[in-house]
Amino acid sequence: MIDQAPILVVIFPLIFAVVTPLLGWWKKDLCYPWVILALSLSSVCSIITLKEVLGNGVIHYHLGGWEPPWGIEYVIDHLNSFILVLVASISLLVAISSKRLVEEENPDKVVYFYTLFLLQVTGFLGIVATGDLFNLYVFLEIASLAGYALIAVGEEHAPFATFRYLVMGTIGACFYLLGVGYLYMATGSLNMADVAQILPDIYSSKVVMVAFIFLLVGVAIKMALFPLHAWLPDAYTYAPSATSALVAPLMTKVSVYVMIRIIYTVFKPYYSIEILPVNLILGWLAVIAILYGVIMALRQVDIKRMFCYILIAEIGYMVGGVGLANRLGVTGAILHIMNDALMITGLFLVAGAVVYKLGGHNINQLRDAFKKMPFSMAAFAVVGLSLIGVPPTCGFFSKWYLILGAIEAENWIFIVALLLSSAINAILFFKIVEIAYYGKASHAHNGDSHGGNTIDEAPVSILIPLGVVALAIILAGIFSGKIVSGILQFAVPPNL
Amino acid sequence: MFDFIVGKYNYWIHIILMMIGFYAMMSKRNLIKKIIGMNIFQTAIIIFFISIAAKRGATLPILEHAHDGGEHAIEAISYINPLPHVLMLTAIVVMVATLGVALAVVILVYRKYDTLEEAEILKKIK
Amino acid sequence: MDMEIITSIKPLLATVTPLLCILLIILSRRIPNLRELWTIIASLVTFSIVASMVKTLYTSKIIAYKLVEVYPGVDIAFRVDAFGLFFALLSSFLWIVVSFYSIGYMRSLDEHSQTRYFAFFAVAISSALGVAFSSNLFTLYLFYEILTVCTYPLVTHNQNNEARSSGRMYLGYLLGTSVAFFLPAILFTYYFAGTLDFSPHGILNGKASNGMITFLFLLFLFGIGKAAIMPFNGWLPRAMVAPTPVSALLHAVAVVKAGVFCQLRVYFNIFGVELLHNQNLDIFLIYFVSITILLGSLFALKQDDIKAMLAYSTISQLSYIILAAGLYSYHGMLGGVVHIVMHGFGKITLFMCAGSILCGARIKKISRLGGIGRRMPITMLAFLFGALSVAGIPPFGGFMSKWFLALGSIEAHQWPILVVLLTSTLLNLGYFMPVVFISFFGKDSESIKGYPDIREPSPFIVAPLAFTALVSLALFFYPYPFLYLAEIFVKSMMGG
């Protein structure tokens, strides 16, 4: 059982997804516990895997017993075992929160929703677990296709937004596939480790360079890196609440993971820094993405759309960290994968609670939200402080590493961008807090308002995951030293 | 120069097809035309993969011996590479699925806006 | 002189006690008397824990307690030295006084959301103690930021438009400066010094180029916005929109003194006085803050709102304290440090008097105070005591610190500073004395004439302010243990 844990992480949601429609056809109410069960099992397996990796080093799992490079190999090292735990547990949390949201927003599609939900999680987990370039493409498309379908059933203009996302997403996936094709042409292998071993001899080849560029552009589209981000705000704004809480934090993070793998595992730092200095390009794109994201967020009156632009800025943090090309920067980027996944989940769960209780995601609907939904808004405050980077929340610590990395790389402009975005995040956050805290303008203090606060809180199924996320944000901050010294320092690619 | 163009004609075809598809996806205003473009784009990639598997004078990778043929050495040189073909089988499945989802989404769009012209949809969104 | 270090959980206990009290406050929110009892008990317990450390410190020992390592070489850790205990003693002692005062004030004005008020008050005290006990810059920054955030609901307690715009200003200045200047300064310090731990002679000496030291110095000077050094002083007068007990404890003691405390900590224990002196930064510092001293007093002169006048007076007085770091002499440092306490008691008295006038007579303007001294003699007598102490007239505590500062400026051969001090004293008298004069000897003003029911408000309000007024007087005759602690600290920096 424990030997099989790496594959079970991915297999559990997959098998359960196949059974979900049958189960739903028999009894609709069973889907929810079924999904929770699947993701709990998957989370447990991911934790077992992480422990295994921490104890005994990298796990090589050969699917069907085929030796690499012929068979598909799952390689679980410190980096992806860490991200597996993150993906599995966050999707579990979102699944828990989804119950009432789905019943409210898509009452006739509950069964299909959960089927696709599991498929999408399968895709995310597969992308992270696999050590095979083509297998990664397949999982990437499983995740994306499930994502398109999930987003399309959202509100208002969701179908059209989905269509645009689909076109962009397909281009991204095709570019990635093309890159894999060129790499295969040059090396004759699809196994990441194998390719990595063969490549250094042919680093001068043009084919390899084209492959590298195609892979990166493809992944950049999937993660919505500026200037390839245009599909994201519409798609995630109109998506159903539970969907955006799942897709927004994970899709982008998983893509960042893939980028780190391509730049630092498949290609070695020697190539990506010395021969074709993509890190410089990424650094600049990151700066622009950060500034563009926060400034656009400032202009939004729709909180979900605002969160989308924040997400675009946050992607800039991670890409910028990768682009710093030193240990501190990459550590910061990986740490921020976790922190940002937590923060964005928190944001979209709050958005879900707000939509559920207050009936929309326009910023003005939040009036008096502190009175009506004190717990949700308290959680939101924690997330917001983390986005600003107030210690001891986790957002502070990724910034800490990123800035130290930037000092080491003498990349001053990135530091300025980080600090500026913190400041603008503060404005954004307090823009929302002000509306939620002050409520109606004429709220002079008089004795009568004592009894006026009627609490009308979001359902427990949303509050629990939200509470867990808020707590995790604080704990991940306090124990970030332990996380880095225990896991991440081994996850950072060597030779940096 | 001539050799460079003709000798690698498979790549040229793949690139031309891909660009046609890419152009259609980006600049056609009709959603169905975009989807057609997407399909051409994907097909171009399939053709690329298949063409890199080919070898001059090689045959299909099917071993020609009966049950009692016994062991004999396999001359890899005389067979085309089967792996890209297998990859493309998977890729085709992915692409068909993408097409299916795309069409379903287009149906949703049509029900919502009664049109498939991007410009008109954008007008209605505003 | 090597200090003996004792590991003890006391600093942690002192910091956590107010936090535990929050839970009890929230649980007993329906029973106001019980709720306030918890605050009183917590303040007494906190103070006794803090006071119990005084004996240990007298014997030249240091108390340390490490909580968790967040980054290699950077901990969340506590370390109680004489300076920290000095500040903690002041804050925790005045919390007791202000707790009583808060009860009287909040009830007499029938304020809303009193539970929230008492809860966040406790958080503020906890973080002020955290600032006092920090063992390194990181922990300091952590509590500094929490202090900013948790005072926001207190400042904007009224939740009206005025509170909203003041709240923006408050956070804009404090978070803005800390994110834009303070945080990068910390990161640069870590990058160059390799540590953030406070040390009696600084940690930056010889670690960075002269230009870099100057740059860091400026970042710290402007980054610690709570010290209200011009041009980052705008938030303090605006923060006076808060209920008076908040202005009294936080904007006369805990928050602003945390600001100057941080400034002095940085100059004394990160740069070290020798380093500042060798680079002539001390000269720059004293003349730079002299501007604030004089301008603050001048602005105070033309205020009509009592609290606004007190706020500008505070701005001016805070910069006296900063002089400690620039006057490179024993008495200069001692004077600055001692002024924290002397000004604290004086100014809190003045603020509580302002609140008492508001509760008893509903007056906020100085121009309407005519004759109020005849109706509220205790309050206005206390006001006189506080004013004389803040201005530095014997026999009040404030005289002692100003005397030391004057001695220090002579020792350091900085005659112009002596002139600044004397001018400012005159200005202090210039804005305080008219208030006292018209209240006792002026004609009854419009706001007083027709209202026979104007009298001293409840003893909960009058007793605390009379008490602190008497303490201001007593500190002249018996300034220990504060003076001892300050002497221990200053001697430790002067090399024993």
> Percent of chain A having pLDDT more than 70?
97
Question: Which of these three, C220, C252, C271, is where a domain ends?
Answer: C271
B5 near A CB under 8 A: no
Q: Are residues C316 and C386 in the same domain?
A: yes
What amino acid is encoded at A142 in this protein? I
pLDDT at A442: 41
Question: Which of these three, C271, C298, C330, is where a domain ends?
Answer: C271
Write the pLDDT tens digit of every residue in C295-320. Answer: 999 999 999 999 999 999 999 999 99
Structural domains in chain B, sorted by start: 2-59+79-125 (1.10.287.3510)
As a whole number of angstroms, the distance between CA A324 and CA A272 comes to: 12
As a whole number of angstroms, the distance between CA A473 and CA A347 comes to: 12
As a whole number of angstroms, the distance between CA B22 and CA B32 comes to: 14
- Check if the beta carbon of residue A16 is closer than 8 Å to that of residue A38: yes
Write the pLDDT tens digit of every residue in C25-82. Answer: 888 888 888 888 999 999 999 999 999 998 888 887 888 898 888 887 888 899 998 8
pLDDT at A144: 94
- Check if the beta carbon of residue C424 is closer than 8 Å to that of residue C476: no
Mean pLDDT calculated for residue range A46-53:
92
Q: Are residues C237 and C304 in the same domain?
A: no
User: Rg for chain B (alpha carbons), in Å?
Assistant: 21
Higher pLDDT, A116 or C328: A116
pLDDT at A445: 43
B104 near A CB under 8 A: yes
Q: Are residues C343 and C471 in the same domain?
A: yes
Higher pLDDT, A438 or A18: A18
Of A163, A170, A177, which is closest to B109 when you measure between CB atoms?
A163
Q: Are residues C298 and C243 in the same domain?
A: no
What are residue C126's phi and psi, to 5 degrees? -55, -45
pLDDT at C495: 67
Q: Are residues C87 and C200 in the same domain?
A: yes
The residues that bridge with C5 in the sheet, in sequence order, are: C62
Residue C1 pLDDT class (50, 70, 90 cuts): very low
As a whole number of angstroms, the distance between CA A287 and CA A415 comes to: 9
The CA–CA distances, whole Å, from B124 to B32, B107, B109, B114, B116 equal: 18, 17, 12, 10, 12
Q: What is the 3-state secondary structure (H, E, C) of C192-251?
A: HHCCCECCCCCCCCCCCCHHHHHHHHHHHHHHCHHHCCCCCCCHHHHHHHCCHHHHHHHH
Q: Are residues C473 and C419 in the same domain?
A: yes
Q: How far is A138 from chain B (nearest CA, A)?
A: 7
- Check if the beta carbon of residue A376 is closer than 8 Å to that of residue A482: no
pLDDT at C208: 86
Q: Tell which of B109, B110, B113, B120 to mutate to test the A interface (max A CBs under 10 Å).
A: B109
Of A407, A444, A477, which is closest to C160 when you measure between CB atoms?
A444
Nearest to C12 by CA among C90, C126, C92: C126
Q: How far is B5 from chain A (nearest CA, A)?
A: 17
**Chain CA centroid to CA C213, Å:** 27
B52 near A CB under 8 A: yes
Q: Are residues C245 and C290 in the same domain?
A: no
Structurally, how many domains does chain C consist of? Answer: 2
For residue C261, give its domain range. Answer: 1-271
pLDDT at C2 over 90: no
Q: Tell which of C148, C169, C170, C179 to mutate to test the A interface (max A CBs under 10 Å).
A: C179
User: Which residues have CB under 8 Å from A177's CB, separation 6+?
Assistant: A137, A218, B45, B91
Residues in C touching A407 (Cβ below 8 Å): 187-188, 191
Q: Are residues C178 and C68 in the same domain?
A: yes
Residue A440 pLDDT class (50, 70, 90 cuts): low
The CA–CA distances, whole Å, from C48 to A105, C44, C52, C53 equal: 56, 6, 6, 9
Q: Tokens in use for A162? A: 């989905």
As a whole number of angstroms, the distance between CA A321 and CA A399 comes to: 10
- A337: number of CA atoms within 13 Å, CB side? 34
For residue B122, the chain A residue with the least C-alpha distance is A160
Q: Are residues C134 and C260 in the same domain?
A: yes
Chain C partners (3+ C-beta pairs within 8 A): A
pLDDT at B68: 64
pLDDT at B66: 59
Most confident residue range from A430-434, C112-116, C121-125, C369-373: C121-125
Residue A335 pLDDT class (50, 70, 90 cuts): very high
Q: Are residues C368 and C430 in the same domain?
A: yes
pLDDT at C386: 94
What are residue C112's phi and psi, to 5 degrees? -85, 170
- Check if the beta carbon of residue C79 is closer than 8 Å to that of residue C63: yes
The CA–CA distances, whole Å, from A384 to A187, A342, C414 equal: 47, 12, 47
Residue A448 pLDDT class (50, 70, 90 cuts): very low
Q: Tokens in use for A24? A: 């739903």
Q: Is the Cβ pair B31, A162 closer than 8 Å?
A: no
pLDDT at A444 over 60: no
Q: CA C338, C339, C340, C341 torsion: positive or negative?
A: positive
Kindly compute the dihedral angle of the four CA atoms of residues B83, B86, B88, B89, in this order, to the nearest 10 degrees: 180
Mean pLDDT calculated for residue range A113-132:
94
Chains B and C touch (3+ CB pairs under 8 A): no
Rounded average pLDDT per 10-residue block, chain B, 126 residues? 79 91 91 94 92 84 67 74 90 93 94 90 87
Q: Are residues C263 and C289 in the same domain?
A: no
User: Which residues have CB under 8 Å from C325's CB, separation 6+?
Assistant: C263, C264, C267, C268, C273, C276, C282, C285, C333, C336
- Check if the beta carbon of residue A281 is closer than 8 Å to that of residue A325: no
- Check if the beta carbon of residue C349 is closer than 8 Å to that of residue C472: yes
